[in-house]
Chain A
Amino acid sequence: MLDNVTWPSTDYSRVPYVVFGDQAIYNREQERIFQGSSWCYLGLEAEIPNPGDFKTSFVGNTSVVVNRSANGAVYAFENRCAHRGSTVVRELSGNRENYTCIYHHWCYDHEGNLIGVPFQRGLKGKGGMPREFDKCEHSLKKLRVETYRGVIFGTFDHDIMPLADYLGPRIRDILDTIFQKPIEVLGYMRQRMPSNWKLYWENATDCYHAGLLHQFGTTFGLFRATQEGGSFLGACPGHSVCYSIFGSDEGSVSEGYEGIEAYNAEMKLNDASLLQYRDEDSDQRGLIIMATFPSVIFQRIANTLATRQIRTKSPNEFELYWTYFGYADDDEELRRMRLTQTNLVGPAGLISMEDGEAGVLIQRAIERERHASSVMEMGGKGPIGDQDHLVSEMSVRGFWKHYCDVMGYVPGSSS
């Protein structure tokens, strides 16, 4: 096992496959990325609207509870009892005045403070905790929490920069768009992926694959590489956005896809209503996919609105947790479109099921590989920046640059 890696190229156009299967590297990721100086997605305020509402979530592979206190503020703490380590909250969501651990009934408030220890003073003068035992020193491990536009982020680093600065103006701008109005959570989709979480991150930031792997989109006309679109980076290159303008390639599709199997102009759906959507964007962007380092992807594709949270499980397994939502003021037709378009995304999605398969195909082929690297030069080598087209892997390299910075890996020259 390794926990240090030499990066073969200084522009991150090569990624050593060893980072996708090594336990020591995975452990270091938990420590430096998820437990470290990152703002991690925890959930949405709309999921816990009332005082006492809670939901369980994850930061990397650490179970956390996020909840709203009596005064309306949102708090989060690690879901591990300060006594002897039991999981405190077992439910996915609910409403509680306080949290009692099932094992010895230690009791915590919404902020995670220890407020009760049964038999602390003993019984009839016998037993009990030592006199100097101070409940204040035994709270649950607290996260610092901040929200932006109703999206809840948490971090174990209490000295980290404010969330708004961590995201930067371009990421906030997309959140302003996606969370422009009060939302209503419609449900969840989960995928247990037998591959390394970073393969999914590469996938979500890779504009290049979208118009090739997802042939349903290219064939029947949602996303195509020939559309107007591009990608740009956020406050750090670990955040990136890919966008495209649906229908902007009329007339140029056949030419663009000439000789490429992904496109078949002859094929038609029996019921094209699946492809009908309402333009909800002032800039006609039919697709916006934003990856926010290290654990969440925000999307609006046609009328599908979702967050996708990465919950790591091991070097070769993670859970992808989709939260699917609409706006509270959706009219009936728009709400119906959002529900019909569940066909496009999630584990059975006609333009997303392929991503699960791609991850497995890579994981299977590289797991035992100690020396080889991938090649990413689509859209150019060298400096990492914005792109005004869709045939690019630039944002994937951006992710790796930031990943290496956080992990303390120094890119060396090719050997």
Chain B
Amino acid sequence: MNNSLASNSSRTIAQEVVREITDLLYDYVLCLDDDRLEEWPDFFIEDCIYKIVPRENLRLKADLPIWFCENKNMLRDRVLALRTCSVYNLHYDRHLISNIRVKCQDDGRFYVHSNYAVFQTDLIEGKTILFCTGKYEDEVVFVAGQPKFKVKRVILDTYSVPNLLATPV
């Protein structure tokens, strides 16, 4: 999305706003790591986009995702599927995020970049692997004073997914 982000950083934005957005990101990954998937959709507004895009597809015009929710109901459906019918590896996720940079747009949206790494621990032998790494490209809006994701675009540097990707990043 916004390439000028690096040059025009958080400095011009109220520290209070930056802190709230940073908290949003930290709360988001805490929610996932705690396996509170039912709460995951509530980090988003109804009219949202959540997509995971393998980095090798960025050079193509379609930037084909492997996961593409186009509204909050689709997030709810992912959770419904994971809880009721999907079969996937039993594991814990552990997200680390860093390098959070916030930039404001005129229309009241905040463009936020951050880096993430997800470690996965399997529940059979307790082994941990670096499951994937990449960056979040988010658009955050404030609704009734609360920051929410309007867009969360997960760029997957690890474009060859270790086996399968079931739980949200």
List the interface of chain A (C-beta within 8 A of B).
92, 185-194, 213, 215-216, 219, 262, 264, 267, 269-271, 274, 319, 324, 339-340, 342-343, 346-350, 353-354, 356-358, 360, 364
Q: Which residues of B contact A356 (CB under 8 A)?
A: 88-89, 163-164
The count of A-to-B residue pairs whose CB atoms sit within 8 angstroms is: 122
Chain A residue nearest to B67 (CB atoms) is A348
Contact B159 A269, beta carbon cutoff 8 Å: no
Known: A188-B56, A193-B163. A215 touches B85 (CB 8 A): yes
Contact A269 B64, beta carbon cutoff 8 Å: no
* A interface secondary structure, majority: mixed
Contact A342 B64, beta carbon cutoff 8 Å: yes
Contact A353 B164, beta carbon cutoff 8 Å: yes
Contact A216 B64, beta carbon cutoff 8 Å: no
Given contacts A186-B64, A348-B67, 20 further A-B contacts (CB under 8 A): A187-B60, A190-B56, A191-B161, A191-B163, A213-B87, A216-B85, A219-B84, A264-B85, A270-B80, A274-B77, A339-B68, A340-B68, A346-B66, A347-B161, A348-B164, A348-B165, A350-B81, A357-B87, A357-B88, A364-B124
Contact A343 B73, beta carbon cutoff 8 Å: no
Contact B88 A353, beta carbon cutoff 8 Å: yes
- CB of B117 within 8 Å of the partner chain: no
Contact A187 B63, beta carbon cutoff 8 Å: yes
Q: Which residues of B contact A194 (CB under 8 A)?
A: 162-163
Q: Which residues of B contact A342 (CB under 8 A)?
A: 64-68
Number of interface residues of B (CB under 8 A): 37
Chain B residue nearest to A217 (CB atoms) is B85
Chain A residue nearest to B69 (CB atoms) is A343
With most chain A CB atoms within 10 A of its CB, the pick from B60, B81, B159, B163 is B163
Contact A360 B89, beta carbon cutoff 8 Å: yes
- CB of B62 within 8 Å of the partner chain: yes
Known: A187-B62, A346-B66. A219 touches B89 (CB 8 A): no
Bound Cα distance from A194 to B162, whole angstroms? 8
